[in-house]
Each structure stands twice: as C-alpha cells, then as structure tokens.
Amino acid sequence: MTSRRNTRQIYVGAVPVGGSAPISIQSMTPWPASDIARNMRLIHSLDKLGCDIIRIAIPDEASAMALKAISRRSPMPVVADIHFSHSLAILAASSGAAAIRINPGNIGSKARLRAVVKACRETGASMRIGINTGSLPSAVVRQYPKRGAAAMMETARRWIQDLEDMDFQNFKVSLKASSVPETIEANRAFSARWDYPLHLGLTEAGLPDEGMVVSAAALSPLLLDGIGDTLRISLSGPCRQEVLAARHLLVSLGLRQGVRLVACPSCGRSEINVASLAKVVQRIVAPCTENLTVAVMGCAVNGPGEAAQADIAVVGSPKGIVLYVHGKKHSRVESPGDLAKPLTTLLYQTAKG
C-alpha cells in the first residue's frame, strides 16, 4: 500500500477530513430534512455502526429550516445536499449545516457561488464540490460531449479557479461516475494535480449485491494508492448497508479498525448451515469497532486452523457451537440463538486483552 496522499485538512463539523485524519465514512438519509423524526432515528442508528458524517437532502425551505433541529440533535456533523438553489444553500448554512454540498452542474452563476462562499465563511461551514458525470455544467458538456474523466477534471479546474479567486479553500471535491474506470482515472488525475481533500464514491452504484462489488472495484485501487480522505458507498438500499460496506472495505484494506469476519464458503463437507450462522455472527459483531478477526467455521478441515489464527472463532457442528479465543476452547452454546450474549462479552474482553 502506498502512503496516504498529503492533502490539506478541512473540517466537517468536528470531523477532520484530509491531512493525517482517518478516512471518514459517510452516508445519506433517504428523506428530506423536513422529516425530522425519521431522520433522527436513522442518524442515531448509523452513528452506532460507525458512520462519521451524514448528508441530508434540502429540496425546499422547510427542509433548510429543519436543519436547525437536526444539526443540534445529531451525534455527527450534517451536510446539506443542495441542487439548483443557492438560496437554500445559504439558508442551510445559517441553520447549522456543518458543510454544504453543491453541484457545479446546476447551482448557477459565479455570483451565486460567491454568495454561498460568503455564507460558509460567516457560519464556518465547509463545502463539497460534488462533480458527477450525469450532471455536468453545459459548457463543459459542449467541450467534452462524452463526459467522463476529462470532463470532470475540467469542471474541477474551473471551480477550483473560481474558489481560489474568492480566496476560499475550505472545501473538498468529489469526482464520481457510474463507470469504474472513469472514476479511477478522474480521481488519480485530480490527486496528481491538486492537494484538496477528496471524497470518494461511485455514483449510482446500484442494488446492494452489485453495488458493493463495483464500489469496491473503484475505490480499492484509489485507497491502496493513498488517494481518498472520506467516502460513501452509494447503494440503492438501506443506509445501514452503505455504512457496513464502507467499514468492511476500510477494515479489509487495513485503513480502519473493526471486526474482520472470516467464514467458510458453501461446501459439501460442512455439517451445518454456515451462511445462516455467519449472518447471526455478523449482526452481533457489526457494532464493534475493535480491530479483531472473527472466524465462522463449519467443518474439521479448516476449522481448527482458522480458530487458531483468529481472535475469536465460532465453530458449528450438529452437536452445538463452540467458541474459541486465540485458538483455545472457551465455551459452548446449543444454537445460534444463544450466541448474542457470550459472543458480545468475548468481543469486548478480547479487545481489552
């Protein structure tokens, strides 16, 4: 793995982004900010899973005003997602948004951008310049009708120039396509030219099964190159899956602490339903942010060896489930339904040494 790219550091609320800060995980609620109650329930649940920053749609004035209550009660900083209306961006900043996400393809003139910059300066909000191949400025599309990486880079160049002319550097940039190669190309080109922090993601990744795969295909090469300061895995599914997928990706690359779950594949030698047991274990370990390996095994071929290598092993058989700690038998339970309490206890005991 290449060392992390040395970027400028900005803040989204109390969360540092860029520089030597850990790569932060983001998600976005599926409702406008005006639905305060549902948004707050979701935000609190995502916070427990390890989400660091939450983004909320601001399609109207009611949503911009609702940010006052949400920002005040949220356990994590709130980013206002703005399209088309610079006046909503200004109102969201005054309502306590930690950052304003604007789209160069639809926010409007340089005068509107200047007004949003003024609001961010006055409130301390940072900004995200969200560049997507699906919504590029019309002038750039005329120059680059195929859209793609070159079009995203040209959009970034124009907007960075404008912001620097306004003496404003409190921003990060995202360059997203639904194409894996275009996303990788654009972010590599950006990181070679500018030191502004990058928000990584693959836009419109798709349903969870496919979306997780293509997102990992796009983001892993960049992260292994040291590129990326914050990320969202955008899925057509529950936000919980976005956060868990992002955590699993960062943990697997050694970029974030968390539980790495190892489980047997489907196999004719297995004496139990390993997939079913692994799903139970996954739900139990999901809230844990300690750096541990948990193995779920279902036969005598790899079970003992994996149990010896893992911090905790859950080995199933027709006679029950045996828990191992650092390769030594610890305890036994009758069924997966009995796992929650002993496994949760072991997670935190093992993490503390």
| CATH assignment of the domain containing 87 | 3.20.20.20
Mean pLDDT throughout 192-198? 98
The number of domains in the chain is 2
Closest by alpha carbon to 239, among 264, 281, 211?
A: 211
Are 85 and 189 members of one domain? yes
Bridge partners of 297, per DSSP, are 315
Mean pLDDT in the chain? 93
Are 315 and 166 members of one domain? no
CATH number at residue 338: 3.30.413.10
Where among 252, 277, 308 does a domain terminate?
252
Q: What's residue 319's pLDDT?
A: 86
- Give residue-wise pLDDT tens across range 290-343: 899 999 988 766 667 777 889 999 988 888 899 999 989 899 999 999 999 999
Are 264 and 131 members of one domain? no
Q: What's residue 300's pLDDT?
A: 64
User: Is the overall model pTM greater than 0.85, yes or no?
Assistant: yes
Where among 206, 225, 252 does a domain terminate?
252
Instruction: Tell me the CA distances in angstroms from 307 to 210, 270, 312, one per residue in order.
Output: 31, 16, 7
Evaluate whether 85 touches 109 at the Cβ level (below 8 Å): no
- Give residue-wise pLDDT tens across range 47-95: 998 999 999 999 999 999 999 999 999 999 999 999 999 999 999 999 9
Q: Is residue 307 part of a domain?
A: yes
Are 107 and 189 members of one domain? yes
Q: Is residue 78 part of a domain?
A: yes
Structural domain that includes position 196:
10-252
Q: What's residue 1's pLDDT?
A: 62
Evaluate whether 320 touches 332 at the Cβ level (below 8 Å): yes
